[in-house]
Amino acid sequence: MEHLAQILLLLAVAIAIVVTFQRLHIPTSLGYLLVGVVLGPYTMGPVVSMPELHALAEFGVVFLLFTIGLNYSIPELNALRNQILGLGTGQVALTTLVVGIVVWLAGLPVAAAFVFGAVFAQSSTTIIASLLTEQGEENSRHGRLGLAMSVFQDVTAVPFLVIIPVLGMSVAADVLTATLAWALAKAVFAFVLVFFAGRWLLGPLFHLVSRRRSLETFTLAILLVALFSAWTTHSLGLSLAFGGFLAGMMLGETEFRHQVESSVSPFRDVLLGLFFIGIGMRFDPASILPIWEWAVLGALLILVSKILIVALMVHRVTADKQVAWRTGLMLSVGGEFGLALIAIALDSRVLDIQLGQVAITSVLLSMVAGAVLIRFNGPIVKRLVKQSEAEAQSSDGLKDSPEQQVVIAGYGRVGHTIAVLLHSRGIPFVAVDTDPRRVAQGRVDGHQVFFGDITDPGLLAAIHVERASLLVIAVDSAEIALSTLSYLRRACPQVPVIARARDLESSTRLLDAGALHAYPEAIESSLRLGASALQMLNVPADEIDQMVQGVRDWGYGPVLEKDTNESQAMNPRQ
């Protein structure tokens, strides 16, 4: 109980600052950094000092890398090996090399120069994604390419988690080389170990857990897998975050991937917030005055190096100058993962306190300046680049909008039938169901079926329902359908929804909730049976279609009136 007052203070300040930043549309990661500065030892006022807090915050990076691994499983990395893999890897490698050489020539040791290069190569996916969405550019060519490269930076930066701790050892060059080679060998061993363990154990484990239909047990299984993998790599002398990434990669290949991402996101966000608070507590505002020139030069180095490198690389791929420069402006912003690498370097003593302050301040300044460049990337590029009509219409394999897909909620009898029809027409779709046996059967059928609860907003965010061309609610529960519709009408009103309904009452409720269509199965089966009878009696097909549609257009009134009259005739007391 000795730390209860400090915990309450931390929560109160965090809520106040983060809510303010959210209302001002400022990335919350910067808000958490400010919380750390306010409650840190270098500013006036109360100080929160808990060693347990820093130990717990370290798991924020573990779960950050875990969710990144979920989105970059081995098959997906293989699919991206051409354009995004080449651009992402090339950008990180070139920026690390160029920045490293510049700061080495400025007098920094080789190890510290390497860390600066790795840190400056990162970009903030959070800032990029939030600003693009706010500006309506998330589906533009430069927006999608820049965001994809930003996310992929985190994947290509994973080796830094292995290399940086080794660089902190005070040993001779030949011993350092041998130690680094041994660390990389252990990383390969850890990958192989987690890979085979994941293939043999994770699938059966999550099938067993998912049959219980308990979100609590499912979440506990996720925590067990992520932390056990982190403990394994840590036992091998590697970072905890590297283990989290490997576990995410393995689970990313399973049908549970989206529900895993939804379940783990609250832990990730809270722990990552604690991590940024810890970073903020390391920041000394008073130290800015002696180093402000170096911090400004560092921020300029981040911005200029990435703008030029990214623009040149993208231009070689797209042959579109505006897309190239706008992508470069987007990726110029500093990144949260760079702050994570600074923390690892400080703990490993690759950087001393002063260099750490320079690196942190440079990244923070680049975040602010980079956000401005992203906000005005269009006007800036239009002033700098005059693009010919031929260039603007050039085909670079990147469409203006991503291919939309249909989302099917429920993979039972109705959902499976709809999936078969869509598949036969080559229409992309993804289906979710809470029954692991249905999910397994769907994947045997060759369909994109995942385990998940369609009423979970986190799951809907994970499958990007906002991009769907259509959502089909095929679950056999009016309450689940209504709950899903209620959320979608608030969060994604642009997504059209059609729903399954058992009777007219359910159909009416679903239509009132926002569904475009909700045909009642009981009446529809009668209509189809009647249509078949008319067809056998040689009634023309177009007349049958008109009659059936007429009944639907009248709200099934003729059918219901007939049923009501018959019921009253059989029960005259009613």
pLDDT in tens, 474-521: 988 888 889 888 888 888 888 999 988 887 788 888 888 888 888 777
540 burial via Cβ count (<10 Å: 0-12, 13-18, 19+):
exposed
Q: How far is CA 221 from the centre of its chain?
A: 21
pLDDT at 232: 85
13: pLDDT strictly greater than 90: yes
Q: How far apart are CA 457 and CA 467, in angstroms?
A: 14
pLDDT of residue 554: 62
pLDDT at 210 over 50: yes
Angstrom distance (rounded) from CA 65 to CA 39 = 27
pLDDT, tens digit (0-9, with 9 covering 90-100), for 217-231: 888 998 898 888 888
What average pLDDT does range 68-95 have in this prediction? 73
Burial 377-415 (b: 16+ CB within 10 A, else e): beebbeeebeeeeeeeeeeeebeeeeeebbbbbbbeebb
The CA distances from residue 43 to 34, 287, 419, in Å, are: 11, 11, 59
* CA dist., res. 351 & res. 361, Å (int): 14
Residue 210 amino acid letter: S
> How many residues make up the chain in this entry?
574
Single out the residue of 151, 159, 94 nearest to residue 126, CA to CA.
151
Of 286, 366, 354, the residue nearest 329 (C-alpha): 366
Q: Which two tokens stand for residue 117?
A: 């290069």
Q: 38-71: b or e for each residue (b if 16 or more CB lie within 10 Å)?
A: bbbeebeeeebeeeebbeebbbbbbbbbbbbbbb
Cβ partners under 8 Å of residue 358, min gap 6: 291, 294, 295, 298
The answer to whether residues 118 and 96 touch, using CB atoms and an 8 Å cutoff, is yes
- Residues 455, 491: Cα–Cα separation, whole Å: 13
Span 240-256, pLDDT tens digits: 877 888 888 888 878 88
Mean pLDDT of 55-62: 77
Give percent above pLDDT 90 in the chain. Answer: 15
Question: Which of the four pLDDT bands, split at 50, 70 and 90, describes residue 574?
Answer: very low
**Which pLDDT value is given to residue 98?**
94
| Per-residue pLDDT band at 75 (split at 50, 70, 90) | low
- Return the percentage of the chain with pLDDT > 70, whole number: 86
Q: How confident is the model at residue 212 (pLDDT cuts 50, 70, 90)?
A: confident
Per-residue pLDDT at 295: 92
What mean pLDDT is predicted for residues 547-569?
55
Asked whether the predicted pLDDT for residue 101 surpasses 90, the reply is yes
The pair of three-digit structure tokens given for residue 181, joined into one six-digit string? 């080679």
Side by side, the strands of the sheet bearing 449-451 are 449-451, 429-433, 406-409, 470-473, 497-499
More confident residue, 14 or 339: 14
Residue 524 tokens read as 């529809």
Task: Please give the pLDDT value at position 96.
Answer: 93
pLDDT (0 to 100) of residue 401: 42
Structure tokens that stand for 259 in this block: 């529900």
What residues contact residue 175 under an 8 Å CB cut-off, 6+ apart? 169
Mean pLDDT of the chain: 80
Beta strands per DSSP E along 455-495:
470-473
Q: Euclidean distance between the first and final Cα of the chain, in Å? A: 68
At residue 171, does pLDDT exceed 60? no
- Choose the most confident range, by mean pLDDT, from 100-109, 453-462, 539-548: 100-109
What is the value of pTM for the model shown? 0.66
Beta bridge partners of 520: 501
What structural domains does the chain harbor? 53-384 (1.20.1530.20), 406-570 (3.40.50.720)
Q: Which residue has the higher pLDDT, 571 or 446?
A: 446
List, in sequence order, the alpha helices (H) in 121-214: 125-135, 141-156, 158-167, 173-197, 203-210
Task: Please tell me the distance from the alpha carbon of residue 442 to that of residue 538, in angstroms, as a whole number.
Answer: 39
> Helix crossing, 28-39 with 4-23: angle to 10°?
140
Residue of 349 and 531 predicted with greater confidence: 349
| Residues near 129 by beta carbon (within 8 Å), at least 6 away in sequence | 138, 147
143-147 mean pLDDT: 78
For the segment 279-303, the average pLDDT, to the nearest whole number, is 88
- Measured in whole angstroms, the distance separating CA 23 from the mean position of its chain's CA atoms is 22
- Rounded Cα–Cα distance for residues 93 and 370 (Å): 20
Residue 517: what pLDDT?
A: 82
Chain Cα centroid distance, residue 347: 28
Mean pLDDT of 49-56: 74
The pLDDT score that the predictor gives to residue 567 is 39
* Contact predicate 335/124, CB 8 Å: yes
Would the pLDDT of 396 be above 60? no
- As beta bridge partners, residue 498 has 472, 517
